């Protein structure tokens, strides 16, 4: 083999090794959730108080973890299938959406006192704060995106979708919203100023498009699907499918780390996958075993942490897996 070929091979090997190391994750600790039964859903964080909020869907509760001590400290009981959770810093409120009774409930973060309940028809699900944090958007029912004004915590409108909306993302610069609509195998694009759908992109590469992440810098939209299990990348301006990458089954949360350009995807098959740009597409560069059913997660870039929710299984208590990102 010629020296140039050997050198080229060595460079490729070093690049691949650095990519895998860069995408590796270290398990810092496991935070037990004693007596929390059933499915765990989405999470949110209060960075000032260092508290992690976990929607325990099957347990009808919101579990609150002190991240400094790595310990479950408080719970809100009597919820009805909590799915989405969002912390609103300037109001000091925790918003929790409930899938069974369709309510959106607001609690004071310090006292856990219920201060407001807003009723949607049913299946209140994913939550997202607007760019100015003055509005909260709620995916619900069959289906629409509800809009809640946070100044007075009042429902101020709806954006009809036509089927149940799953994960959605907001482009703050263009004031567009991208919504996964798996029952119709499409992505709805919404003009947030006029509160109407301006485009519907067929989701052709797979079925069951649930998690979503958005890269506003490169105008890339990342969609996780279940059948087959893939990550599909779209041009967020044109709706053109750019690439597809095989991932593990049952993905339900996906995040882009703006600094590292890595995508983190938690899969219920029992893996947390790290995905990196590669040539004209993306590839999985690290696959970390978590736990069966651990399909939801939360990335906190400022703290270089990602939390994965592992439900109770086979006699092992529910727990939160805390990983350190590079």
> Which of 22-26, 116-120, 265-269, 302-306 has the lowest average pLDDT?
22-26
Question: Which positions ≥6 away from 113 have C-beta within 8 Å?
Answer: 107
Using a pLDDT cut of 90, give the percent of the chain over it: 90
* Average pLDDT of every residue of the chain: 93
User: What is the pLDDT, as a whole number, of residue 220?
Assistant: 97
Residue 34 confidence (pLDDT) above 60: yes
- CA-wise closest residue to 104 among 55, 175, 166, 58: 55
- What is the arithmetic mean of pLDDT over 73-98? 98
DSSP assignment letter at 316: B
pLDDT value for 35: 96
Task: Answer yes or no: is pLDDT of 20 > 50.
Answer: no
Look at residue 281 and tell me whether its pLDDT is greater than 90. Answer: yes
Quickly count: other Cβ atoms within 10 Å of residue 101's Cβ.
15
pLDDT over threshold 50, residue 43: yes
**326 pLDDT tier (thresholds 50, 70, 90):** confident
Residue 11 CB-density burial (10 A; 0-12 exposed, 13-18 middle, 19+ buried)? exposed
Structure tokens at 193: 């100023």
Residue 121 confidence (pLDDT): 84
Average pLDDT over residues 289-317: 97
When pLDDT is averaged across residues 192-214 and rounded to a whole number, the result is 97
108-138 pLDDT, tens digit per residue, is 999 999 999 999 988 999 999 999 999 999 9
Output the pLDDT for position 23.
60
Residues whose CB falls within 8 Å of the CB of residue 11, separated by 6 or more in sequence, listed in order: none
Query: What is the pLDDT, as a whole number, of residue 24?
Result: 76
Q: Does the pTM exceed 0.95?
A: no
Alpha-carbon dihedral 35, 210, 167, 48, rounded to 10 degrees: 40
- Each residue's pLDDT tens digit, 208-261: 999 999 999 999 999 999 999 999 999 999 999 999 999 999 999 999 999 999
* Residue 101, phi then psi, degrees to nearest 5: -100, 0
Q: Kindly report, residue by residue over 157-184, the tens digit of the pLDDT.
A: 999 999 999 999 999 999 999 999 999 9
Residue 71's alpha-carbon distances to 53, 253, 324, in angstroms, are 12, 23, 17
């Amino acid at each position: 083999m010629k020296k140039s070929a050997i050198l080229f091979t060595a460079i490729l090997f070093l690049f691949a090794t650095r990519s895998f190391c860069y995408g590796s994750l270290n398990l810092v600790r496991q935070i037990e959730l004693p007596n929390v039964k059933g499915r765990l859903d989405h999470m949110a964080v209060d960075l000032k108080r260092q508290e992690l909020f976990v929607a325990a869907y099957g347990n009808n509760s919101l579990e609150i973890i002190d991240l400094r001590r790595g310990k479950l400290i408080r719970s809100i009981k009597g919820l009805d299938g909590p799915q989405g959770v969002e912390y609103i810093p300037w109001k000091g409120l925790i918003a929790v959406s409930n899938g069974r009774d369709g309510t959106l409930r607001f609690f004071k973060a310090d006292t856990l006192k219920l201060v407001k309940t807003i009723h949607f028809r049913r299946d209140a699900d994913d939550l997202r704060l607007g760019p100015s944090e003055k509005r909260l958007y709620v995916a619900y029912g069959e289906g629409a995106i509800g809009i809640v004004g946070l100044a007075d915590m009042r429902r101020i409108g709806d954006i009809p979708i036509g089927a149940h909306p799953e994960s959605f993302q907001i482009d703050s610069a263009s004031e567009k919203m991208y919504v996964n609509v798996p029952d119709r195998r499409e992505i709805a694009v919404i003009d947030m100023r006029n509160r109407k759908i301006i485009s519907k992109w067929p989701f052709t590469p797979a079925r069951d498009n649930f998690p979503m992440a958005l890269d506003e810098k490169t105008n890339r939209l990342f969609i996780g699907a279940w059948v087959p299990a893939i990550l599909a990348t779209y041009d967020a301006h044109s709706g053109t499918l750019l690439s597809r990458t095989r991932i593990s089954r049952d993905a339900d949360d996906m995040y882009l780390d703006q600094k590292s350009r890595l995508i983190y995807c938690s899969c219920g098959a029992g893996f947390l996958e790290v995905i990196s740009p590669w040539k004209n597409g993306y590839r999985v560069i690290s696959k970390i075993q978590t736990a069966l059913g651990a399909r939801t997660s939360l990335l906190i870039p400022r703290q270089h942490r990602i939390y994965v929710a592992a439900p109770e299984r086979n006699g092992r208590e529910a727990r939160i897996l805390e990983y350190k990102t590079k």
